Structure 1
């Protein structure tokens, strides 16, 4: 249902209506300094502008590749009314609008030359009666930590500094998805500020089309999400594992893994990494089992036996919260340290995580690789550079949802494929590797690994759901205020 607006929101909506009524007036050339000052005064949060001491830190995304982008303003929105203020400002002043949660957009589309709406301050995590209410700016590490304290969790990703909003709106592949579904599958409601400045509470009975589109339709397309209602699952002790093999076993590992992982019991999730780092190569099987170590080892045996003797192996039972820290690369850090360092929302004073300059692209595998496909994949990773191919198992609960039940269509996929590269030549390698594997994997891609060079992106990301998404976009944002280069 639509929430009754408070006085500030009512006045803003009223101002927007007056603007619409006077749409025939001459267009403004853009906001001047006094307009920006008025916006800042109208926010409960903080507006950071060029020349401010915090500006250089505020404008940066996770990927330094986009450090050259200089937005006209970054608004750290403390509440939905702040978001409505920014949306109405952007519409009235004809300022380009970008929406940012964790700032991990692979294409850098959570920044731009206009106004960046950053929802990081809206980061509360609450739990009651099997349901979590999570602010759109909450980082995954904090979501896991705060829910684990209540003995529950939600299925989500591994990168600790990703914002829950971007993840959930694009689908949300994670380490317990085979058991509990994607993040969008447990999304029961979303509060979202639409292009006309309204705050809508969307669920199965109120604006259900907008809820459907928010479950996999991609962030930044339909409005600014401010909070979510998620169904939770119990967070008990689990088993995590890492097995390594020499590069000579790479092809055998791919064959064995793809025959085993997508059809393993739902409680077993794994990812296969084929990596080249400098002069060395590496094969790793990493994963999590929602059960005991003994049961995990029994389930691992068929794949491990087919690959051959591992050069190293670690299998151990740990509390759920610790498992999420391990999966996020924070096994030796506190929750506070498992953030980027700084004083801005989403950062912590003692944060130790660094930014990463990278290039990435994706496929979704609907069928196993042929023998020729396996050889080609291994050959691409073996090329000179600093890069990894990550194969994440799907199937299980993900595959038991109809392709049109949510906006995320790839329910029949066996696994996701991510081509990820660092440093010099990264974009060239990911481009060439994806092109080389296209005859084997086809054209399917994951919108959360958005690829600005992708041909046929509508079908690749959304499949047959793209036409319904376009109709919903036209209904809720007819003026296309929320405009991405690959926007629905």
Structure 2
């Protein structure tokens, strides 16, 4: 027997040694935890057992490998970073971490707002598993795929999957938390088009999960948050046909901000499904006056939606733009790399997930969120605008309101783990300074009822479990107990 098989047989038991299982495990088949080792971790043995690459602090590429998208977490120093090329590599890492009692962090795009896709133990990075293949009406997508590669890999086939806009975000974290994107009102969240998922669980098994096989885990993977139940290595999505779409933008004077918010929140959640919009409040150093803008994507002509939006606000815009584009070009435009090559839409580097000619920048910020289940009152609108009128020329600060409704709301709150089906819009607060974020979030909390979106994970959030998961919390906790009773996969807000 080679070293990999010996390790799995010893630590994870006969089920893990067998490799892949599509059967729901019986309770008596669950392998026990190994005793605490008495010697130092044998990182060389782990490296020999991987098809991928293990990077340690003494390696030349370590400084780059340990970085996330957000620079404020650069001080975290993992003991090792494993770039896993296969599901078996992930299983090997789990066996090693179990034996050595080493903390495990699962990483793809590294965009976690709280930095929880890294840690001081073993980082299991799935970036090398980034293939995108069309299979009939489905797309089989490796968990390491970046969103720009998801769109590019399907563009030649004239199909896509509803997902986010930031090009370097990983498909895994986005989908596992729900996945709000620019076509979600038309086609649902990313998790809504998930047909199956392949997960490496804490006992090292590689499970295929869908409506019939391991259905509890499949349910949890559709909105239950990344890193809670195992390391996902592959997704199978149902695709939808898409060709050209029309991104558009409408800007108003700041003096009309209250009227714009008032009108947009009435119109946007009930707009035609083919229209998605996001209201942006922004300020920048030296800008003086904050800005207000609605950006959107229409699956057809945008003239009608833009006119309807303007009518709903009752305020004349100062500018507006609209241009029909092929879908891949539209997603580059929405993601901030319009006119650039596919390589340039990646982070710069030579490690998996990066490209030598990449130019997409890292960004330092923190975030908070709400889900609005009812329109903001006049008092809430005034409180929000007041936050921008305080020190607006000091920092880059933003509040983004993304319209929900449409296909998102036609699925029951308990049909998937994502509970916020009746939400009108999500609210994301972004800034580099936590003091402003906390004060702004607190000012809006009375209007939002203790809700939040798990993909905008917030380390300061009180009552986070209920805010993220609502009525689905108890079922998620039962699923966690069934598949990770020893809590191998844990972080400060893990279930």
If the TM-score is normalised by the length of the shorter chain, which range does it land in? over 0.9
2:276 is aligned with 1:269 = yes
**Superposed displacement of residue 279, structure 1:** 3.4
The correspondence of residues 89-128 of structure 1 with structure 2, limited to 5 A, is: 89-128=96-135
For 2:383, the equivalent position in structure 1 comes to 376
Does residue 131 (structure 1) correspond to residue 141 (structure 2)? The answer is no
Rounded to whole Å, the distance in 2 between the matches of 1:286 and 1:223 is 36
For structure 1, the residue ranges without an aligned partner over 5 or more in a row are 1-5
Query: Aligned to 2:260, which of 248, 253, 258?
Result: 253
Structure 1 residue 16 displacement after superposition: 1.7
In the TM superposition, what is the alpha-carbon distance from 1:7 to its structure 2 partner?
A: 8.3
SS in 1 for 2:375: coil
Q: Distance in 1 between matches of 2:170 and 2:469?
A: 22
Cα deviation per residue 1:383-411 (whole Å; 9 max; x = unaligned)? 21320000000000000100000000000
Normalising by structure 1, we get a TM-score of 0.95
Counterpart check, 1:166 vs 2:173: yes
Q: Which residue of 2 aligns with 1:3?
A: none
- Residue of structure 2 equivalent to 1:289: 298
Contact 1:30 1:95 survives alignment (8 Å) = no
Q: Render the CA deviation track for 1:206-234: whole Å, top value 9, x for unaligned.
A: 00100000000000100000000000001
Alignment partner of 1:299 is 2:308: no
Instruction: Give the alignment's TM-score, normalised by structure 2.
Output: 0.93
Q: Deviations over 1:124-163 (max 9, x none)?
A: 0000211000000000000001111111000000110000
SS at match of 1:250: helix
Find the aligned partners of 2:351 and 2:389 in 1 and give their Cα distance. Answer: 40
Aligned counterpart in structure 1 of residue 10 of structure 2, from 1, 6, 15: 15
Structure 2 CA distance, aligned partners of 1:51 and 1:10?
A: 28
Match of 2:438 among 412, 431, 438: 431
Equivalent positions of 1:143-154 (< 5 A) are 143-154=150-161
State the partner residue of 1:404.
414
Specify whether residues 177 and 14 from structure 1 end up closer, same or farther in structure 2 by C-alpha distance, changes over 3 A only.
same
How far apart, in 2, do the equivalents of 1:105 and 1:30 lie?
Answer: 33
1:53-104, Cα deviation, whole Å (9 max, x unpaired) = 0000000000011011000000000000100000010011000000001000
> Which 4+ residue blocks in structure 1 deviate beyond 6 angstroms?
6-9, 19-22
Does the 8 Å contact 1:193/1:226 carry over to 2? yes
Q: Which of 416, 423, 426 is matched with 1:416 structurally?
A: 426
The residue number in structure 1 matching 2:184 is 177
The question of whether the paired residues in 2 share the 8 Å contact of 1:222 and 1:477 is answered with: yes
Q: Distance in 2 between matches of 1:300 and 1:30?
A: 66
Alpha-carbon distance change, 357 to 307 in structure 1, aligned in 2, over 3 angstroms: farther
- Taking the TM superposition and a 5 Å limit, the aligned residue runs for 1:196-275 are 196-275=203-282
Cα deviation 1:95-125 (Å, max 9, x = unaligned):
0000001000000000000000000000000
Contact 2:3-2:49 within 8 A present in 1 as well: no
Moved more, 164-173 or 12-21: 12-21
CA change 1:18–1:394 in 2 (3 A) is closer
Q: Identify if the C-alpha distance between structure 1 residues 382 and 228 changes in structure 2 by more than 3 Å, giving closer, same or farther.
A: same
Q: Tell me the equivalent position of 1:43.
A: 50
Q: Deviations over 1:254-284 (max 9, x none)?
A: 0011011000000000000011111321111
Q: Tell me if structure 1 keeps the 8 A contact 2:11–2:33.
A: no
Asked if residue 186 in structure 1 is aligned to residue 193 in structure 2, the reply is yes
| Unaligned runs of at least 5 residues, structure 2 | 15-29
- Two-structure CA RMSD over aligned residues (Å): 1.6
